[in-house]
């Protein structure tokens, strides 16, 4: 009975050590510039969606400072085009 408790405690300690090492490696990667830093806010936002029929839908998606119009739901999804921002020169 005593050895099973010890082996369970050893396994839990090893699991905690591995989780701590993974978290530290992630933090070190962000600090070293290997992983992107999350600065808050959403990068990808669905601005509007319009159902064309029972299957197809036009979706306006904004990613950072660019907007794209997508046609989804047919045989394949299609990028209809990029929408120019009226306040920005191209």
The answer to whether 15 and 22 have CB atoms below 8 angstroms apart is no
Regarding pTM above 0.85, the answer is no
pLDDT tens digits, residue range 39-90?
A: 667 788 899 999 999 999 999 999 888 899 999 998 899 999 998 876 666 5
Secondary structure of the chain in HEC code, one letter for each residue = CHHHHHHHHHHHHHHHHHHHHHHHHHHHHHHHCCCCCCCCCCCEEEEEEEECCCCCEEEEEEECCEEEEEEECCCCCEEEEEECCCCCCC
End-to-end Cα separation, the chain, in angstroms: 74
Sequence ranges of the domains in the chain: 1-40, 44-83
């Amino acid at each position: 009975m005593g050895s099973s408790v010890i082996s369970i405690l050893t396994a839990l300690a090893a699991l905690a050590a591995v989780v701590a090492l993974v978290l530290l490696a992630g933090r070190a990667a962000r600090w070293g510039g290997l992983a992107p830093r999350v600065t808050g806010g959403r990068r990808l936002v669905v601005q509007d969606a319009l159902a064309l029929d029972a299957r197809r839908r036009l979706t306006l998606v904004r990613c950072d400072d660019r907007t794209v119009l997508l046609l989804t739901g047919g045989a394949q999804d299609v990028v209809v085009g990029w929408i120019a921002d009226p306040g920005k020169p191209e």
